[in-house]
Structure 1
């Protein structure tokens, strides 16, 4: 988990919007195994260690269902500490009748599912960075079938899923954007991330500290995809954790230099990428 702590820049928290908070809390708590850290009538902060929140749910006023073919959330990605955790989760979700997709990305093994509102979720484990294949500044990633037989072989009859392990973190986020040129400028020149993989002219993967990716962006909802309405199900914001205050000052200056904007809001510095995806700049 060294790619999700100082001095790396990483995604620490994701806030999503849901239609029915009570229903969603039940899914994330009872099915996925998160615990509640804080709760109000319209929002819930979820935790895996009882101390910090990596995921929040919010029910906006006059909420509307998830809108298709817009910018916003493709998926957020929960990183588990051990491969056995992923094996146990496969068995648990299968017993719960939860539809799953899966993939072997060379750098990681991943499960994909949606919550009850259609918000995309990836749950994955990383292979050892020593196994990642780098060609200069680009890391090799594929979309191969996941070897379930090999994965489930490490599970045992007494290794039942007991909820999200304490070492679980927000591994990365993957976003729908309206185009890639200004998006790349924002994330590289503005936020200071590095492009580590290009999926043709359709997607970019960016990271800090030679991770396979902390942020993915794609145009799979269409070039020029519109922004969703403020009260629709989907992404509210995500938090980018910077290593120190000096870095944050430099990032804010860089965003301003490329024509972006950073505001102070509720004790946070907040910006948005060119497609309107909101980002909290924390230290």
Structure 2
């Protein structure tokens, strides 16, 4: 499946703020199975393959706890290469006594949990795209119970050894303050297509007919405020664009709809209407 490589636009890395860096690093290594790629006094880059950072966590000065009912991160989602990888991590969570949520979304099978700071995490595996159901350019998704008996019946499971090297950042799901300007920003500005509408509460968008690279919802309330800069939660995330030409076109499109663009030393950062920061990388 090629939904997380060119010519598609996809999420590459998620950058989080936490209250206690040591506690967070311990959780992401021992519970989720990341490896440390790079570490400084207040920031750690985490990897699955030993080469590519998927998650960065930092402890801001004068950090304050996660604020309720604000915009920002709903969850980031780690996509595992194989269904057997999901079965292994279920076994691992069971062995350490960790309770998690779960769901069968028709397009995927997913687990849900939070880190010690309340940052949401999804860990999932996709069904083959031939099994996805499309109608009028919308993909069918649901929130059905996950069949753990069937999942755990996949052969004899080997022991869990952390996140497999082929893990990618499958998608990010954001709390936003409203959907009309948000849809314009992500479609007309960034070039995504709406592939599913959940009533008037949520949008799912993608490139290349993926079930979603980004989810957007107003479940924290229409008009939800942005969290404080030093608050726990999302610092930013990266979008990986196929080439410089596409980035130039996107920057022009963002400017044409009045979106904020910050250009520093050849890097481009934009901010969605709800204050979520996005780094535009090639």
Tell me, yes or no, whether TM beats 0.5: yes
How far has the Cα of 1:90 moved from its partner? 0.5
> 2:90 — aligned with what?
90
Give the 5 Å matches for 1:1-283: 1-157=1-157, 159-265=158-264, 267-283=266-282
Q: Which whole-Å deviations, capped at 9, do the CAs of 1:162-213 have from their partners, x for residues lacking one?
A: 0000000000000000000000000000000000000000000000000000
How far has the Cα of 1:267 moved from its partner? 4.7
Whole-angstrom CA distance in 2 between matches of 1:123 and 1:53:
17
How far has the Cα of 1:282 moved from its partner? 0.3
> TM-score by structure 1 length?
0.98
SS of structure 2 residue aligned to 1:251? helix
Q: Which runs of 4+ in 1 moved over 3 A?
A: none
Whole-angstrom CA distance in 1 between matches of 2:222 and 2:168:
32
How far has the Cα of 1:99 moved from its partner? 2.0
Q: Which moved more, 1:27-36 or 1:171-180?
A: 27-36
Unaligned 5+ segments in structure 1 are none
Q: RMSD value over aligned CA atoms? A: 0.9
How far has the Cα of 1:236 moved from its partner? 0.3
Q: Which whole-Å deviations, capped at 9, do the CAs of 1:207-258 have from their partners, x for residues lacking one?
A: 0000000000000000000000000110000000110000000000000100
SS of structure 2 residue aligned to 1:90? helix
> TM-score by structure 2 length?
0.99
Whole-angstrom CA distance in 2 between matches of 1:151 and 1:50:
28
How far has the Cα of 1:136 moved from its partner? 2.0
Q: Does the CA-based 8 Å contact 1:88-1:155 persist in structure 2?
A: no
Q: Closer, same or farther in 2 for the Cα pair 1:155/1:64, shift >3 Å?
A: farther
Count the aligned residue pairs.
Answer: 282
